[in-house]
Amino acid sequence: MDSSRGVAYRIGMRVLPFVHALSSLLFLASTTAQVVGVEITRREDVLGGREFGAAGAYETLVGTVTFAFDPAAPGNRAVVDLDLAPRDREGRIPARADLHVIQPKDAAKRSGVALLEVCNRGGKSLLARFCGGRHGADPRSEADFGDGLLLHAGHTLLWVGWQFDVPDREGLLRFHAPRAQGDERAIEGLVRANWLVEDDADALPLAHRDHRPYRPAKADDPRNVLTERGDGKTSPLEATRRVVPRELWHFVDDERAIALDGGFLRGRIYELVYAAREPAIVGLGLAALRDVALHAKTAADCPFPARHVVAIGISQSGRLLRHALAQDFHTAPAGPDAGIALAFDGVFAIVAGAGRGSFNHRFAQPSRDAHRLHSFEYPTDLFPFTSRAVDDAVTGMRGGIVEGRTRRAPKIFQLNGGYEYWGRAASLAHTTVDGASDVEPLPTERLYAIAGAQHFDQGLPPAARGEVAVHRGHPLDTIVVQRALLVALIDWVTNDREPPPSRIPRIADATLVPREELRFPALPAPAVPPAPYVPRRLDFGPAFEEGIAGFEPPRAGAPFGVRVPQTDELGNELGGIRTIELLVPLATYAPWHPHALFPSEPEPFVGSLIPLPRDEAERTRTNDPRPSLAELQPSLEVYRERVRAAIERLVGERLLLPVDRERVAAHADSLWQWLTAR
């Protein structure tokens, strides 16, 4: 044990020596042939050789993985446009990906588990999320590693680029994808970009979040059309699109952006459809993740070997893991006589909602997501949503993310928060598409929801307790739950120990309801959004089954049946996992917050903190229907006693690690001090 950190808890399994089983190598050798080389360009000790308990010292490897994809391999046939990629002399398709590894230096001290984080837009979050470290593209300092929880367990941390268009910033990991090429003419197609303009702007970027855009094929192509909607006063969602005359707008910044005569106006939605050429073969990024995982598990010369690989994705990359499951990119590209090998033994999709994404079609833009006012009508929320196969009576389709699509499934955790039910249609991941009935998870799957959680964690709001009634963002701590669930998933994968049962709001017990049945207290402010994000059935054209969009924007059809968690008398959500903030409440933690431009619309990603009235006098003065803080928690001593009892309950349910007891107690104390201060 490293006494300087005091972290002795092991994640999922003991730190043991391991070797690859020869029989596994012989059985799976053919599946790893698509990784043809790993070049390490930097190798250095982590924190100068500091030891992490029994796992000893760690090292960092930085380099590149080289691939030669076989277009005829069964596991590659789902990659859109692979037949149009340039080939080498052997008829294979070359590509490469950036690589970053952190692992114990001594192979005998490695746990045998590699945690493969699917990079969110090229970044790295494993250390920040699960070790409390600082976010950074190249972790090297003490602050980057936090309490070192994952390292004390002896696990290998693995990142590999899968996204071709990540921003040009140092440290971001990229997949260097080939481009589709025609025999005589360049491949062309339609690309779409849309924006809600929150402040008047002179120019708008074609790509999402500073990513690399597809360039227009010709600036004067008649297929290039810009539309505008809204009046800047009311939500523009239902407003009619108006075509902006072509002579009024122009491609600028080396055709990476557009400018409009007179500028783009605040409160409007603008949408551009334009013709582009030479699409990246985006779906190969999915194959790259699969093949690096298989290489780690089976190649005798792999510099980062592992017995088990657990894939972890957060938000965008959580959706990618759902997409990988739906298209069977989690199994080996072996032939029918070689058997089926799992690339990912476990999958942890975090705050992915019910979505997938733009990860494997022609001119796909992987960064695009789906919200009510931002990045809408991309192929993010498409049937099916549940792992089990269900019917869609509207279209006559039947399907599931996992059931009926693969011959072998990994162990799966899906974790959402309250925000994902309001902003990312998370209920569809475990209900029928009309929202009428629950759909039970598969035996190899657990679904969890953290009641009231927003999309990401943050600290206490900067404003003092008494300055405003409603604070933007709230300090509900979900990371402690995520740490505990990762422990449980690794234990399930390595030791076959059953994890905690699924914890989600359900239709059967009335903790999951239509918006109109929500019993949120009638507070003076804020108003509950009139509706959650509700995806619609989208028609991208007759060739979209093959990954080619013909309609941009797509034709919108009937909506799906989205449900939201019911609330208690304080407005805190019922069902799912209730953390310390809800078990011993001092405030209402709403997973939505009014948008600054259009208060009837929820702002993406953030929630609201609504402190309880301090006493009966404040409750009467503010016309607050909730009980007062003095009534619920009569003293700090009583509050602390209840917090300690709630902590032990969560530890007993394996939803909190014993090592995190003090962190949670200290967090509870800080909430009390902040919320009772005047």
- Region 113-121 average pLDDT: 98
The C-alpha atoms of residue 111 and residue 307 are separated, in whole angstroms, by: 9
Predicted local confidence at residue 364, as pLDDT: 98
pLDDT over threshold 70, residue 16: no
Assigned token pair, 155: 């696990």
For residue 259, what are the contacts with CB-CB under 8 A and spacing of at least 6? Answer: 202, 203, 249, 250, 252
The predicted-structure confidence for 235-290, as pLDDT tens digits, reads as follows 998 899 999 999 999 999 999 999 999 999 999 999 999 999 999 999 999 999 99
pLDDT confidence of 333, banded at 50, 70, 90? low
pLDDT confidence of 460, banded at 50, 70, 90? confident
- In the 3-class helix/strand/coil scheme, how is 449-475 assigned residue by residue? EECCCCCCCCCCCCCCCCCCCCEECCC
- Region 202-224 average pLDDT: 97
pLDDT over threshold 80, residue 678: no
User: With left for phi above 0 and alpha for psi between -120 and 50, is residue 331 left, alpha or beta?
Assistant: beta
Predicted local confidence at residue 104, as pLDDT: 98
- φ, ψ for residue 160 (rounded to 5)? -145, 140
- Could you tell me what percent of the chain has a pLDDT over 90? 88
If you average pLDDT over every residue of the chain, what do you get?
93
Whose tokens are 């409440």? That residue is 585
- Could you tell me what percent of the chain has a pLDDT over 70? 94
Q: Kindly report each contact of residues 253-261 with a partner whose C-beta sits within 8 Å and lies 24 or more positions away, as own/partner.
A: 253/203, 253/205, 255/206, 255/215, 255/216, 255/219, 256/205, 256/206, 256/207, 256/213, 256/215, 257/203, 257/204, 257/205, 257/206, 258/203, 258/204, 258/206, 258/226, 259/202, 259/203, 260/226
Q: What is the DSSP letter of 29?
A: G
The C-alpha atoms of residue 608 and residue 72 are separated, in whole angstroms, by: 52
pLDDT confidence of 153, banded at 50, 70, 90? very high
Task: For residue 538, give the 3-state DSSP assignment.
Answer: strand
Burial 229-244 (b: 16+ CB within 10 A, else e): bbeeeebbeeeebeeb
Distances (CA, A) of 548 to 503, 543, 630: 38, 5, 60
Distances (CA, A) of 495 to 34, 113, 274, 319, 670: 30, 12, 52, 27, 38
Contact 433, 390 (CB under 8 A): yes
Fold category of 188-277 in CATH: Immunoglobulin-like (2.60.40)
Predicted local confidence at residue 463, as pLDDT: 76
The predicted-structure confidence for 515-557, as pLDDT tens digits, reads as follows 999 999 999 888 899 999 999 999 999 999 999 999 999 999 9
The predicted-structure confidence for 289-302, as pLDDT tens digits, reads as follows 999 999 999 999 99
Task: For residue 583, give the 3-state DSSP assignment.
Answer: helix
CA angle 603, 606, 607 (to 5 degrees): 105
What does the DSSP assignment read for 470-495?
SEES-----HHHHHHHHHHHHHHHHH
Assigned token pair, 98: 């950036």
- Region 58-86 average pLDDT: 96
* CA 606 to chain CA mean position, Å: 15
The C-alpha atoms of residue 317 and residue 122 are separated, in whole angstroms, by: 10
Q: Is the peptide bond before 553 cis (omega within 30 degrees of 0)?
A: yes
| pTM for this predicted structure | 0.95
* CA 151 to chain CA mean position, Å: 23
- Region 449-459 average pLDDT: 96
pLDDT confidence of 505, banded at 50, 70, 90? very high
Contact 24, 298 (CB under 8 A): yes
pLDDT over threshold 80, residue 338: no
Whose tokens are 């952006």? That residue is 257
Could you report how far apart the first and last alpha carbons of the chain are, in Å? 43
- Region 419-447 average pLDDT: 98
Predicted local confidence at residue 29, as pLDDT: 39
Predicted local confidence at residue 32, as pLDDT: 53
CA nearest to 172, candidates 202, 138, 216 = 138
Least confident segment among 191-195, 417-421, 459-463, 586-590: 459-463
Contact 285, 359 (CB under 8 A): yes
- Region 501-517 average pLDDT: 98
CATH 2.60.40 spans which residues of the chain? 188-277
Task: For residue 339, give the 3-state DSSP assignment.
Answer: coil
Burial class (CB in 10 A: 0-12, 13-18, 19+), 22: exposed
The C-alpha atoms of residue 71 and residue 223 are separated, in whole angstroms, by: 32
pLDDT over threshold 80, residue 461: yes
Q: What is the DSSP letter of 376?
A: -
User: With left for phi above 0 and alpha for psi between -120 and 50, is residue 132 left, alpha or beta?
Assistant: left
CB atoms within 10 A of CB 77: 12
The predicted-structure confidence for 369-407, as pLDDT tens digits, reads as follows 998 888 999 999 999 999 999 999 999 999 999 998 877
- Region 364-370 average pLDDT: 96
Contact 89, 67 (CB under 8 A): no
Assigned token pair, 343: 């690339």
The C-alpha atoms of residue 483 and residue 413 are separated, in whole angstroms, by: 13
Contact 471, 461 (CB under 8 A): yes
Predicted local confidence at residue 467, as pLDDT: 67
pLDDT over threshold 50, residue 570: yes
The C-alpha atoms of residue 22 and residue 380 are separated, in whole angstroms, by: 41
Predicted local confidence at residue 405, as pLDDT: 84
Predicted local confidence at residue 6, as pLDDT: 35
| pLDDT greater at residue 339 or residue 461 | 461
- Region 173-195 average pLDDT: 94
Burial class (CB in 10 A: 0-12, 13-18, 19+), 370: buried
What does the DSSP assignment read for 2-17?
-TTTT----SSS----
